[in-house]
Amino acid sequence: MGKIAFIFSGQGDQYPGMGKDLHETYPVAQETYDLCDRIRPGTSTQCFDGTEDELKETKNTQPCLFAMELAAARVLLERGIIPDALAGFSLGELVAATVSGAFDSETGFRLVCKRGELMQREAEKFDTAMAAVVKLTPEQVQAVCSEYSDVYPVNFNCPGQITVSGLSSQMADFSADVKAAGGRAIPLNVKGAFHSPFMTEAAKAFAEELATADVGERTIPLYSNMTSEPYGDDVVSLLSSQICNPVQWERIIRNMIADGVDTFIEIGPGKTLSNMVKKISADVRAVSVAEYLAEVEAC
């Protein structure tokens, strides 16, 4: 029998109303939202009733996604669905770290609130954007990026899909060059050039914040965005450095599969990560948490 992994999504999948069904159906989810509301009043209201524009703001997106994802993970855990491995995409890695035991729920949520504030602060210093480049190889994307002073390949998602971050003033020409190379650049629903040098100061400040947090013992292997390998004792350096460095998502999934994972449950409001997993390997199962919960409740 293969292993199960929880994979936690990052920014871009948020939508008004996310998590409301969890809150209304499962007491442990309501407890999770109540905890988040005590620390950051209005979090559940933003998740359930916030506007799309409000949820696009990084300082709001990250706490709201964290709350929804932690609530969903706790619902599964309460039902005896215990993962053998964990990974999270960008901010999702902080949720995964919390579920692993590195942080208690309150500490994890306080950290994600600070992370969102720091990354928004840096994003507001520059007019930047992100785009998903499809139909090109990593080498092709890197070659196009090398023609621009401030456009960087930042998320290596799956075969044929790489995310770039850069100055908005350069993105139109960059997109045209991508098209000329046979690809397409799709603008993303985020505000900021995440996982690029534009986030260096946010990474430094977040490292200082992490250094003051109590780090507990992890009970479930946690794979790193930076290295694509399971964490050692370097929680502070890996969680902070990933803010301004590329996410090695395809490598993470391939390493998890090599380590015996054959079922991936995406913990988040959408299906972005599970769709990526399906493009990485046709030999494993990848489902959203909504789909998996429906199966569990039907048994």
Are 156 and 56 within one domain? no
DSSP-assigned states of every residue in 231-269: --S-HHHHHHHGGGS-B-HHHHHHHHHHTTEEEEEEESS
Are 227 and 213 within one domain? yes
pLDDT reading at 71 higher than 70: yes
Q: Can you tell me the distance from the alpha carbon of 112 to that of 90, in angstroms, rounded to the nearest whole number? A: 11
pLDDT reading at 107 higher than 80: yes
Residue 263 banded pLDDT, cuts 50, 70, 90: very high
3-state secondary structure 91-140: HHHHHHHHHHCCCCHHHHHHHHHHHHHHHHHHHCCCCEEEEEEECCCHHH
Q: Can you tell me the distance from the alpha carbon of 22 to that of 33, in angstroms, rounded to the nearest whole number? A: 10
What values do phi and psi take at 133, rounded to 5?
-100, 125
Are 114 and 45 within one domain? yes
Residue 299 banded pLDDT, cuts 50, 70, 90: confident
CATH number at residue 177: 3.30.70.250
Per-residue pLDDT, averaged over 47-59, amounts to: 94
pLDDT reading at 145 higher than 70: yes
Are 170 and 104 within one domain? no
Q: Please measure the distance between the N-terminal and C-terminal CA atoms of the chain and give it in whole angstroms.
A: 20
Are 106 and 141 within one domain? no
% of the chain with per-residue pLDDT over 70: 100
Task: State how beta strands 151-158 and 161-167 pair.
Answer: antiparallel
pLDDT reading at 56 higher than 80: yes
pLDDT reading at 1 higher than 70: no
Residue 169, SS3 per DSSP: helix
pLDDT reading at 191 higher than 80: no
| Catalytic center residues | 90, 195
Please list the residues that pair with 186 across neighbouring strands: 132
Q: 148-152, 230-234, 261-265 — which is least confidently predicted?
A: 230-234
Residues in the chain, overall count? 299
Handedness of CA 244, 92, 10, 48 (dihedral sign): negative
Are 57 and 72 within one domain? yes
Angle (deg, nearest 10), helices 272-280 and 249-258? 60
Q: What pLDDT is attached to residue 284?
A: 97
Q: What pLDDT is attached to residue 120?
A: 95
Per-residue pLDDT, averaged over 37-47, amounts to: 97
Are 56 and 73 within one domain? yes
Q: Can you tell me the distance from the alpha carbon of 41 to that of 295, in angstroms, rounded to the nearest whole number? A: 33
Single out the residue in 142, 162, 187 at which a domain terminates.
187
Single out the residue in 187, 215, 232 at which a domain terminates.
187
Are 178 and 146 within one domain? yes
Host domain of residue 247: 3-124+196-298
Q: What pLDDT is attached to residue 188?
A: 85
Report the chain's mean pLDDT, rounded to a whole number: 95
Question: Do residues 127 and 169 make contact, with C-beta atoms less than 8 angstroms apart?
Answer: yes
Are 209 and 96 within one domain? yes
Are 113 and 228 within one domain? yes
pLDDT reading at 59 higher than 70: yes
Domain count, the chain: 2
Are 221 and 178 within one domain? no
Are 65 and 212 within one domain? yes
CATH number at residue 38: 3.40.366.10
